Chains A and B, each alone.
Chain A
Amino acid sequence: MKSTFMTDYDHTVGEKLRHFRSISGIEYKRIYDETSWNKKLPDAGEYPYTRGIYKDMYRARLWTRRQQSGFGTPEESNELLKFLFKVGQTGINIDSDIAGKLGLDPDYPLARADVGLQGTSMCTYEDMLALFKDIPIEKISSTLIFPPPSSAVIMSQYLLMADERGIRVHDLSGTIMNCPFTQLVGPTFQANTAFFPIDLALKIGLDLIEYLLKTVPRWNVLNVNSRNIRECGVNAVQEAAFAISLGMDYVRRLLERGLDVDSFGPRIGFFCAVHLDIFEEVAKFRAMRRIWARVMKEMFKAKDERSMRFRCAVQTSSLTFTAQEPMNNIVRAAIQTLTAVLSGVQSVDTTCYDEAYCLPTEKAQKLAIRTQQIIAYETGVTKVVDPLGGSYFLETLTDEMEEKIWEAIKEIEKKGGFIECFKKGIIEQELNEARYKLANELENGDLAIVGVNIFRSEDSASDIELFEHSPDMQKKRIEYSVQYKKRPGRELTYKALKDLYLFTKRGGQGNFVIPIMEAVRSGATLQEICDAMREALDYQIPC
């Protein structure tokens, strides 16, 4: 019996597409002309920023090359960072392992097998020092990929490190992701709520925002992870709508705290996916810029233009990668990187071709950076601002995407906003429906993937070199965290942890960053700090 999974092409009659819909299901017309779109656009750098958030875009400054990095021990990750700078990375993007994101130390039994696998293992202040050894944080911006409550612990470590090195807070620049709904693996319910009460995580995130606004003038205080939303299988419209609705929820909560919209607006950013439908993606970014600008100006009454600018980092999609013929992923990543640049984003992480299997090798990392450099310096697309602007097709699609995204935002708003929908399981349900739909499209061939459901070779097993962790890495990290907590003279640590416990127990009146910072200063580990808060609320975690 012939497999229904494979779409077969008869090479004698010529190949033809099965349909003309975008990945998100928008029906493309044969051709677009002035009957589809016939308008004037404001200049780049002008509200609502359709053509870009800055007047000169890449003519003034190229995007930041910011490869997500981190694996194994902090010492190994420090070596990796140095390697990436040597080949041309221009910003830091530190990812921790899952334990670090969930507020667990390496010796926690359930965490042991995952230590250092997906990112660097971090739990102590000394880990932070090891990770950033010899790296000039007063010159290079760092993105720290942590949701609250870990974000408050890691940010405290970073600030204490800067202080110890004699660096002024004014010279620090970077981003703390700081979103408890999207950072882990996208907004799936169980993943984000099992290890910490979500309401308290949100409060700590907001506390950290308030703290940073007052103390670190150039730090970006929140980054809504639109990419992880997309990677759960939703389409471009849903990605944009979910991310912007969540952004709106944050703005409302910060306004409720009595903060001025222009005090935090310029310091909120987004982190988006770049998928494979080139024009749909470019249209998505342009539509997101317009919507965010209007939301901030019209809904939240921002006056400062910087509050209205949709600043956006991207990472090319991992979901589009295939384990079959992994070298094909080099092409996919290059196309997506070009798409990001044509969209006018602020920083790019090009996913490495081997990430369909494991963490990238240095060879793959270097190729990803080279991809960006070739696009920047050889193709010419950076020499003109918004080079696709004015295309009948793109402008029509931008309008259409904008309309669809607005509609989806209104639906979420009607149900109480993103956070409410997350808590009620509505988001979870939408993700699952999107996943089933995606799987169906793959099965029936509506979504074509070369090497998987079309043009598949059965001998397509990987012949690429794969990354391998050093064999004793996990054991070393587990032993380190056990020994660290057995050190003598930890009375001050226990006192600081007790203070944090009592602070939480009494309802957390005030800013959580203060007692968390004290606990970090006293030598408490990441999990000790999170446990103090968990215990105060009698919050049971999986074990």
Chain B
Amino acid sequence: MSRGKIIVAKLGLDGHTNGIRIVSKWLQDAGFEVVYMGLYNTPEKVIKAMLQEDADILGLSFLEGSHMYYAEKLRELAIRYGIEGRKIVFGGVIPPDDVEKLKALGISEVFLPGTSKEKIISTIRTLLGG
């Protein structure tokens, strides 16, 4: 089994990076290969990166409330590129009521504030099938 390649990024104009920096470090320390794409990305850009890098998981972080908008965009793109099976996970400041809606749009997992390092890493391992 590969050790798992994860692309992490923020979409749109949301510039808050406390969470994504910390989680990226945790994942790296846990042995995953992490590609940090930073801020100001479009959904097209991260999906293409996922294909080019042949990444196993795409991790996206939100703090402003644009998560539903982008989940819908990502859904459209996943269908267009025929990659609905690829795993996308969200994390950040997301109202709990939106979690089920996000999952219905194909988001595999949603990490809310206060999720422990252990929980994030074990969930990612499960998503990788190992």
Contacts and interface: CB of A to CB of B under 8 A. Distances in A.
A111 interface: yes
A41 interface: no
Contacts of B93: 323, 356-358
B112 interface: yes
A98 B18 contact: no
Contacts of B78: none
A439 B95 contact: no
Contacts of B97: 466
B39 A113 contact: no
Given A4-B118, A452-B114, A110 B25 contact: no
Contacts, number: 98
A111 B66 CA distance: 11
Nearest to A232: B18
B83 interface: no
Contact of A358 (B17, B65, B114, B116): B65
A436 B40 contact: no
A104 interface: yes
A435 interface: yes
A358 B68 CA distance: 14
Interface residues of A toward B: which range? 35 or more
Contacts of B65: 117-118, 358-359, 469
B17 A185 contact: yes
B81 interface: no
Contacts of B41: 542
A152 interface: no
A114 interface: yes
Chain B contact-residue range equals 20 to 34
A436 B22 contact: yes
Contacts of A542: 39-41
A358 B38 CA distance: 22
A188 B114 contact: no
B15 interface: yes
A194 B21 contact: no
Contact of A99 (B11, B13, B96): B13
A4 B118 CA distance: 8
Nearest to B72: A113
B3 interface: no
B117 interface: yes
A323 B91 CA distance: 13
List the 3 shortest-distance A-B pairs measured between CB atoms, nearest first.
A191-B15, A5-B116, A542-B40
Interface of B: 11-18, 21-22, 25-26, 38-42, 64-66, 69-70, 93, 95-97, 112-114, 116-119
21 contacts: A5-B118, A5-B119, A98-B13, A109-B42, A110-B12, A110-B40, A111-B13, A114-B64, A118-B64, A118-B65, A185-B16, A188-B17, A231-B18, A323-B113, A356-B93, A357-B93, A432-B25, A436-B25, A438-B22, A443-B116, A542-B41
Given A112-B12, A191-B39, A542-B39, 20 more contacts: A3-B116, A5-B118, A98-B15, A98-B64, A117-B65, A118-B64, A188-B15, A190-B15, A190-B38, A190-B40, A191-B15, A194-B40, A319-B18, A323-B112, A436-B21, A439-B22, A443-B116, A443-B117, A466-B97, A542-B40
